[in-house]
Structure 1
Amino acid sequence: MNADLSEDDRSVTGPGENRPTAGDEDWARRVRAGLLRDDVPQVLADAVLEQARAACRDSGRPATEVFGAPSEYVRQRPQESLDPELRARYDRDGVPEGFDASAVVLRLGVVGLAISIGTTAREGWTAEHGYAHAALLAAVLATFLLGGEALRRRGAGRLRSSRSAWVGSAAVAVAGLGAAWALRDDPARVDVPMSAPLLACVAIVAAGVLLRRRRPAAGTAGVPDDTTPDEWFTRLEHLLRGRHLMAPARTRWEVDEARAFWRAGGTEHPQVEFGTPQAYAVVLTDGDDAPRRRRAAWRAAAATLFGVLALTNLARSLIDGETGGWWRTVVALLLCGAAVASWVRLARARAPRP
């Protein structure tokens, strides 16, 4: 293997007598990019390519002959050929089970940076703020943090704690709005140099990226040893609904079928019959594109909503002759571009498998 090639750019054919070729390197890059676009976690995309390298080494043929064009290979969902126990270690965002400090830090930094950039574009490098602004800012940050944590917990199949986080997010939002309204007439004002929050948020984002790179590898997924059969099936149901976005009616049917099969088999515990609920949920959803399409549709709808709001805000500012139209234009273009990209991904998700 060429020592100058990075791990991501190595040929699919791998080391040894099968030397890397430009075609194989390009094939591997395009497959990896396609898998990541389809929300396949990076660690699983790397495992798919490692599997492809082994197949090419064994056959002695280039990747295009073994697997076909990169786009066609990605549409075949090759990640489903990986060991279910490996895929069960990660939620639908590719995050290992458990609390993820890097996600919280990154969420805080990104939201704070967006607010700081918007404030700087609107008011300049020095902004005048009072207690009402501080209360509203704290509420926005806390709401985004709790809302993001609610989404992450649902993605991990933790439906009860996800609901609790949503309730907390709503409570913080209402409390922040109430405090801002109560303090709206307070005359106290402070001139805030915007360079300080901008630099602080950049540092927070950098810390989040560093924490993510140092995040430990996922361990084996499972449930505690004292988990009862009812708790095992409840965990399976929550994983199917939260992590795999299975429709509620089908989820109930799958869980009832698994429960009936376990009772008929006579084993002492469903984990003996099916393995971990995380791995069995992966098995039950293999080959089903409906959850992936549903998630793409939700993203497209949300991106479209934000794009429409940005365009409405831009139009209102132009009609009223307000200053700062350039940054509103930039925001509208970015959000509309994101909406278009989300609809392209939805069309790709709805395309039939080859």
Structure 2
Amino acid sequence: MTDDGNDAADQDLIGRFEPAHQSWARGVQATLLWKDTPSAQIDRELIRVLNAVNDSAQNPHELFGEPIDYARQRAIALRPAEQVARREMPLESMRSLMGGAGLVIGLLIAGFGLYVAFRDGWLAQSWQVWQLACLVAGAGIAGAGHAFWYLRLSARLRAALLVLLGGLVGALGCAALLLTLGSERVLPMPNLVGPILGLVLLVGFFLLPLTEADSDPIAVAGAKQWFALAERFLRGRYGFTRAEARAALSVARSHWEQVHAHDPAADPNEEFGPPAQFVVSLAALQEGPVRRRWWLKQVLYLLIPSCFVIAQLAEIMGGGVTWWSISTLAFWLAVLGLSIYLMRPTARSKDISEKLAERRRDAQVIGAGVEDD
């Protein structure tokens, strides 16, 4: 069916509501669309609401409340279990992560390159070896760190560690090799090369072909492999320690031993479902991993402005006080103060409680899907 046909069908469905209720139905429909809910599910949801309104002789506001709030809750409940289990993933694929890294690096190179070119001249040579070394080291470390995080959330713990170590060694090694040429040495290239290189990276990002989102394994061959993967998901995606993960899976292991003793041909995928979906309910019961992840995030938020404050103080002590240096220092001190303020106990308790509530809702959605099956 064409888009015009879908629009016509949607309007027909909205038209089945009473005129006074149609604005409410449109609000639900628009919010579900905004939440990327498939059209077929939106139609089923509107029909369900329409039937409930007709059966009760009440208006949808009385039955379901405000349309946007109601649609937000239903959008969560209507998501596929596979999508719910991947809520913790920051991006859909490793390709998206690498493309985003190229975009950020391209913006940095283009912005700094334009500044240098306008300041010193497009054909002048201003780039020094230490600047290139810092760019290589910074981009390499940032890329390796983000790849490590993504792979760890994907339960690929060994690959994550190898990528992190390889990225750190490669980035720092290349930077050290460049510095042997002389840190203050000027690179033999005109300043116009910087903006061009940044532009190439930016264009490359937008020309990057779209790929399908990564997915978690649906079926695992063998009980040993199933429990090993479930443990890796708990450790990598939800921040469990090895001991916490094994303790959380102990009940399931005991149950599986009984099932396997009664039926040696039993399949853990049929008994428990995919590992990534099964562990969501276990993650919703543990506060410790959520608290550790919260502290890790806050420490990173403190580390970034702290480094800039230290660097700016060193520049002021070495080169004197200027309006620019004082303004920059004040900005990063404000960011540092805000980071410290966000670490207050009330904010910590609220963030942890909200995260646990989110995981409990996800577990309920997956559990409801299993019951429907």
Q: Same fold (TM over 0.5)?
A: yes
Unaligned runs of 5+ in 1: 34-41
Matched residue pairs, number?
Answer: 330
| Counterpart AA for 2:240 | M
Following the alignment from structure 1 to structure 2, what is the Cα–Cα distance between the partners of residues 57 and 345? 41
Distance 1:206 1:336, change over 3 A: farther
Q: CA RMSD in A?
A: 4.7
Distance 1:299 1:185, change over 3 A: closer
Q: For residues 136-177 of structure 1, what are the alpha-carbon distances to aligned partners after superposition, in whole Å with 9 as ceiling and x for unaligned?
A: 423332322222111110111111111111111221233033
Following the alignment from structure 1 to structure 2, what is the Cα–Cα distance between the partners of residues 236 and 282? 10
| 1:56 aligned residue (49, 66, 77) | 49
Residue 94 of structure 2 aligns with which residue? 100
| 1:215 aligned residue (205, 211, 217) | 211
Q: Secondary structure at the match of 1:246?
A: coil
User: Would the aligned equivalents of 2:151 and 2:157 in 1 still touch at CA under 8 Å?
Assistant: yes
Normalised by the length of structure 2, the TM-score is 0.67
User: Would the aligned equivalents of 2:126 and 2:186 in 1 still touch at CA under 8 Å?
Assistant: no
User: Would the aligned equivalents of 1:56 and 1:62 in 2 still touch at CA under 8 Å?
Assistant: yes
1:312 to partner: Cα distance: 3.8
Following the alignment from structure 2 to structure 1, what is the Cα–Cα distance between the partners of residues 187 and 250? 61
Distance 1:171 1:274, change over 3 A: same
Residue 199 of structure 1 aligns with which residue? 199
Residue 364 of structure 2 aligns with which residue? none
Higher helix share: 2
Q: Say yes or no: does 1:84 pair with 2:100.
A: no
| Counterpart AA for 2:89 | D
User: Would the aligned equivalents of 2:294 and 2:352 in 1 still touch at CA under 8 Å?
Assistant: no
Residue 226 of structure 2 aligns with which residue? 232
1:112 to partner: Cα distance: 3.6
Task: Out of 23-32 and 103-112, give the one that drifted further.
Answer: 23-32
Distance 1:254 1:62, change over 3 A: same
Residue 308 of structure 2 aligns with which residue? 310
Q: For residues 44-85 of structure 1, what are the alpha-carbon distances to aligned partners after superposition, in whole Å with 9 as ceiling and x for unaligned?
A: 8999988865653443343674256967997x8973675534
Distance 1:306 1:57, change over 3 A: farther
Distance 1:309 1:130, change over 3 A: closer
Task: Note the 1:136-155 alignment, pairs <5 A.
Answer: 136-155=134-153
Distance 1:287 1:256, change over 3 A: closer
Task: Note the 1:1-354 alignment, pairs <5 A.
Answer: 15-18=14-17, 53=46, 56-60=49-53, 61-62=59-60, 65-66=63-64, 79=76, 82-88=79-85, 90=86, 92-93=88-89, 95-96=91-92, 100-118=94-112, 120-121=114-115, 124=118, 126=120, 128-184=126-182, 187-190=185-188, 191-193=190-192, 194-207=194-207, 211=209, 214-216=210-212, 221-223=217-219, 227-266=221-260, 267=263, 268-286=266-284, 291-292=289-290, 294-318=292-316, 320-321=320-321, 325=325, 328=328, 332=332, 339=339, 348-351=350-353
Q: Secondary structure at the match of 1:15?
A: helix
| Counterpart AA for 2:154 | A
User: Would the aligned equivalents of 2:152 and 2:237 in 1 still touch at CA under 8 Å?
Assistant: yes
Distance 1:58 1:324, change over 3 A: farther
1:259 to partner: Cα distance: 1.6
Following the alignment from structure 2 to structure 1, what is the Cα–Cα distance between the partners of residues 329 and 339? 15
| Percent of aligned positions that are identical | 16
User: Would the aligned equivalents of 2:312 and 2:329 in 1 still touch at CA under 8 Å?
Assistant: yes
Following the alignment from structure 2 to structure 1, what is the Cα–Cα distance between the partners of residues 347 and 198? 32
Following the alignment from structure 1 to structure 2, what is the Cα–Cα distance between the partners of residues 326 and 122? 22
Which structure has the larger Rg?
A: 2
User: Would the aligned equivalents of 2:141 and 2:168 in 1 still touch at CA under 8 Å?
Assistant: yes
User: Would the aligned equivalents of 1:307 and 1:335 in 2 still touch at CA under 8 Å?
Assistant: yes
| Counterpart AA for 1:84 | A
Residue 39 of structure 1 aligns with which residue? none
